[in-house]
């Protein structure tokens, strides 16, 4: 993914409700149309100060509730961290908007085709939300936002500007839930994000 405002093209929806309907009716991915219970567009404040981009709605979370990062443990942790850091005007979305499942019905990562099929939805959402900062949660989201050439380095996160977006990398909450990164360190990454936003607002 490169620069953001692809939504200004002639075919792009002019209004957020129109964009939501286009996403809710999307049938670009045959496998995902079968596996999903519903499409899960991004949700939150528009305009946003910060947008979080995760991977895909979870089987026990967004696929049930219709809201990204809600109803499962990843969502609970992400939302707790956002509240704790007192982040303003948050928008939350995913690289893909449908729950991908494997043959046993378990969550799987979206494949390259699914990610590419959903790219215009992500671009359009970010163009509508116009966040000052976009946080890629985990390696796949980071790669989608920053491209393959920018290493995913959430242990030394810093804001970088790429294609009109100000990007920040963080671990996916599922990584913290698995115990691979401490919740304390995660909380301090959110504090750093909060400082960045405050400084950006003061500029």
Quick one: which segment of 31-39, 69-77, 81-89, 147-155 binds ligand URA (CB under 6 A)?
Answer: 69-77
Taking CB under 6 A as the criterion, the residue among 58, 100, 110, 154 binding ligand URA is: 58
Print burial letters for 102-120: b (CB count within 10 Å at least 16), e (below 16). eeeeebbebeeebbebbeb
Q: Which of 43, 55, 90, 159 binds ligand URA (CB under 6 A)?
A: 55
Which listed range, 28-36, 50-58, 128-136, 143-151, lies at the site for ligand URA (CB under 6 A)? 50-58
Give the residue ranges of DSSP H helices in the chain.
Answer: 16-24, 30-35, 62-65, 73-84, 112-129, 139-146, 173-177, 183-202
Q: What angle do CA 109, 114, 117 make, to 5 degrees?
A: 150
HSE toward the beta carbon, residue 93, CA cutoff 13 A: 30
Using CB under 6 A as the binding rule, whether residue 154 contacts ligand URA is answered as no
Indicate whether 75 belongs to the interface with ligand URA (CB under 6 A). Answer: yes
Among 42, 44, 61, 157, binds ligand URA (CB under 6 A): 61
Question: Does residue 140 interact with ligand URA by CB under 6 A?
Answer: no
Is there a contact between 129 and 46 (Cβ–Cβ < 8 Å)?
Answer: yes
In total, the chain counts a number of residues equal to: 203
Cis peptide before 24 (omega within 30 of 0): no
**Looking at 18-26, 60-68, 155-163, 186-194, which segment touches ligand URA (CB under 6 A)?**
60-68
Residue among 180 and 201 whose Cβ is closer to ligand URA: 180
Stretch that binds ligand URA, among 28-36, 49-57, 118-126, 181-189 (CB under 6 A): 49-57
Q: Could you give the CA distance from residue 145 to residue 127 in angstroms, rounded to a whole number?
A: 13
91-120 binders of ligand URA (CB under 6 A)? 94
Residues binding ligand URA: number (CB under 6 A): 13
Say which residues have a Cβ less than 8 Å from residue 107's Cβ, sequence separation at least 6.
56, 58, 59, 99, 100, 101
Per CB under 6 A, residues contacting ligand URA are 54-58, 61-62, 68-69, 72, 74-75, 94
């Amino acid at each position: 993914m490169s620069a953001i405002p692809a939504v200004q093209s002639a075919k792009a929806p002019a209004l957020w409700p129109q964009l939501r309907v286009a996403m809710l009716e999307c049938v670009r991915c045959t496998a995902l149309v079968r596996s999903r219970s519903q499409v899960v567009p991004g949700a939150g404040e528009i305009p946003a100060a910060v947008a979080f981009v995760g991977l895909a709605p979870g089987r026990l979370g967004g696929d049930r509730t219709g809201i990204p990062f809600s109803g499962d443990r990843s969502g609970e942790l992400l939302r707790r961290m956002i509240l704790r850091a007192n982040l303003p005007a948050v928008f939350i979305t995913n690289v893909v908007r449908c729950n991908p499942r494997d043959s046993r019905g378990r969550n799987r990562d979206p494949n390259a085709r699914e990610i590419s099929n959903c790219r215009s939805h992500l671009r359009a959402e970010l163009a509508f939300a116009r966040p000052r900062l976009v946080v890629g949660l985990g390696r796949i989201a980071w790669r989608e936002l920053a491209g393959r050439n920018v290493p995913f380095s959430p242990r030394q996160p810093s804001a970088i500007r790429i294609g009109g977006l100000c990007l920040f990398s963080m671990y996916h909450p599922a990584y913290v839930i698995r115990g691979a990164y401490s919740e304390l360190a995660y909380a301090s990454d959110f504090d750093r994000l909060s400082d960045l936003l405050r400084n950006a607002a003061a500029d």
